[in-house]
Amino acid sequence: MFFNIFKNQLKLGFRNKSNVFWTLMFPLILGTLFKITFGNIYSEYTSDAIKTAVVFETDDEDIRNNTKAYLEGLTMNDHKMLDISYMDYESAEALLKDDEQVNGIISVKNDGRLSLDITSNGVLSTIQETITTIYNQNVGLIEKVAAEHPENLPAVLEGIQKRAEYIDTHNLAGDNKDPFVSYFYNLIAMTALFAALTSLRIGNNCQANMSSLGARTNASPLSRMTFQAAAFLAAYIVQTAIIFVGITYMLFGIKINFGGDIPLVYFTTAIASLLGTSLGFAVGNLGSFNLDKKESILVGLTLTGCALSGLMYGDMKVIITEKAPIINKINPAAVISDSYYCLNMFGVGSRYLMTLLYMLVISAVLITLGLVMGRRNHYDSI
């Protein structure tokens, strides 16, 4: 009996066109759009060093040497960040205006600070701006400390040095990953939560007060537990398979570089899908609301969870971490995105394994809730 229900629930899952469409097409369409958008930025970002004209407006040899060492020492992904040409300002201005042969002019002032001239906004200009801003902040900091607390100067210089090393871009997982891959991880996380849409129907299809199908199932000699177990397993497999198709498309269709952890990406997704399926199962067994209301509740929960986890607004997760960290531990969207983040940044480690454990625990809680709420076999009214 279990196998028959399971087999048919698999068919129902794969044939539910709207469900398959949204669960599959959402990552395919959005993934492609991400690729197109980020692809342009990324090619600009990861190609040759940024062509920069440097103009010295000071004769101070120390200042000239320091800035030269700083600018020439900047690296990203093991290559130089800036392709520097030294010249006077008029020549630099001509190159900047002449079809943008340089992306910006960095002028070294008498006070040791840098100024930047650019003609357009973009990622490259932003990088140049960040370089000059950080440098100027450091110069200001050193000047202030030297004037007010000269004894602290060695410590401050050491701090600046460490910060520079920290900022230097490399991920702790040690793989050459796409810097925009976290967007794709977030996309997979959202898709994994969509698994809830399939499992949402399980409750309705076995509750006599919810649907005629539920009444028919209840009137049969099939135990509630058998039905729910078979339907849950089928929903989980359907959703996981669909998300796997999405990931495979990202890997081999639009060639997103997930680094060397591809099996782990699939594995994490399988656990995330379990969490999504469990969420839908719990909401589906929630009280005597009709399917439309349950869908609204689920969509509301999912979107709220995604918003709180920073999938829509990046800084939200930081705010939640500061104000109410417990939410990040129980919010399925936050836990899923965190697991991908950990995998992306740190590889397999205690933090990553902890996020997997969180997902499994939350899944177990949601499944138990669903079973408890949907355990009734007869009703006050139908």
Partner 1 sequence: MSETVVEVKNLVKRYKELIALDNFNMKIEKGEVFGLLGPNGSGKTTTINCILSLLDFDNGEIDVFGEKMTSQRYDLKKRIGIVMQDVAVFEELSVEENIDYFCGLYINDKNKRKQYVEEAINFVGLEEFKKFKPKKLSGGLLRRLNIACGIAHKPELIILDEPTVAVDPQSRNKILEGITELNKKGATIIYTSHYMEEVEQICTHILIMDKGKNVTEGSAEELKRSIKNTENIIVYIKNLNDEHVKAINAINHVYDVTYMSGRLEIKCAGGRHNISHVIDYFASNNLDYDRIYSELPTLNDVFLEITGKNLRDKE
Q: Which member of 107, 198, 199, 218 binds partner 1 (CB under 8 A)?
A: 218
- Minimum Å gap between C-beta 287 and partner 1 is 16
**Which is nearest to 278 in space by CA: 337, 330, 327, 315?**
330
**Which is nearest to 209 in space by CA: 5, 376, 368, 373?**
376
Site for partner 1 in 195-214 (CB under 8 A): 208, 211-213
| Residue 4 contacts partner 1 per CB under 8 A | yes
| Residue 152 contacts partner 1 per CB under 8 A | no
Cβ–Cβ under 8 Å, residues 120 and 99: no
Cβ distance to partner 1 smaller for residue 323 or 378 = 378
| Residue 380 contacts partner 1 per CB under 8 A | yes
- Minimum Å gap between C-beta 308 and partner 1 is 34
Cβ distance to partner 1 smaller for residue 68 or 224 = 224
Residues 221 and 218: their CA atoms lie apart, in Å, by 8
- Minimum Å gap between C-beta 10 and partner 1 is 11
Residues 137 and 87: their CA atoms lie apart, in Å, by 25
Phi, psi of 261 (to 5 degrees): -105, 30
| Residue 292 contacts partner 1 per CB under 8 A | no
Residues 333 and 204: their CA atoms lie apart, in Å, by 24
- Minimum Å gap between C-beta 272 and partner 1 is 25
| Residue 115 contacts partner 1 per CB under 8 A | no
Cβ–Cβ under 8 Å, residues 84 and 71: yes
Cβ distance to partner 1 smaller for residue 208 or 335 = 208
Residues 178 and 251: their CA atoms lie apart, in Å, by 12
Cβ distance to partner 1 smaller for residue 69 or 219 = 219
Helices 181-204 and 332-346 cross at an angle (nearest 10°) of 150
Q: Which member of 97, 216, 255, 293 binds partner 1 (CB under 8 A)?
A: 216
Neighbours of 144 (CB within 10 A): 11
| Residue 375 contacts partner 1 per CB under 8 A | no
- Minimum Å gap between C-beta 192 and partner 1 is 23
Name the burial class of residue 70, with classes exposed (0-12), middle (13-18) and buried (19+) by CB atoms within 10 angstroms of its CB: middle
Cβ–Cβ under 8 Å, residues 131 and 74: yes
Of 29-37, 60-68, 218-226, 266-274, which segment contacts partner 1 by CB under 8 A? 218-226
Cβ distance to partner 1 smaller for residue 4 or 120 = 4
| Residue 223 contacts partner 1 per CB under 8 A | yes
| Residue 137 contacts partner 1 per CB under 8 A | no
Cβ distance to partner 1 smaller for residue 58 or 211 = 211
3-state SS, residue 76: strand
- Minimum Å gap between C-beta 222 and partner 1 is 5
Per rule CB under 8 A, count of chain residues that contact partner 1 = 27
Residue found under tokens 């719990």: 282
Cβ distance to partner 1 smaller for residue 1 or 33 = 1
| Residue 18 contacts partner 1 per CB under 8 A | no
CA of residue 76 relative to chain centroid, distance: 22
Pairing label, strands 114-117, 75-76? unpaired
Q: Which member of 219, 292, 322, 350 binds partner 1 (CB under 8 A)?
A: 219
Sign of CA dihedral 342, 345, 346, 348: positive
3-state SS, residue 329: helix
Of 134-142, 216-224, 236-244, 254-262, which segment contacts partner 1 by CB under 8 A? 216-224
Residue found under tokens 């190159």: 95
| Residue 8 contacts partner 1 per CB under 8 A | yes
| Residue 220 contacts partner 1 per CB under 8 A | yes
Angle 187-190-195 (CA atoms, 0-180°, nearest 5)?
130
Of 62-70, 84-92, 221-229, 322-330, which segment contacts partner 1 by CB under 8 A? 221-229
Q: Residue 193: enclosing H or E segment and its boundaries?
A: helix 181-204
Residue found under tokens 């202030």: 144
| Residue 217 contacts partner 1 per CB under 8 A | yes
Interface residues toward partner 1, by CB under 8 A: 1, 4-5, 8, 11-12, 15-16, 208, 211-213, 215-223, 377-382
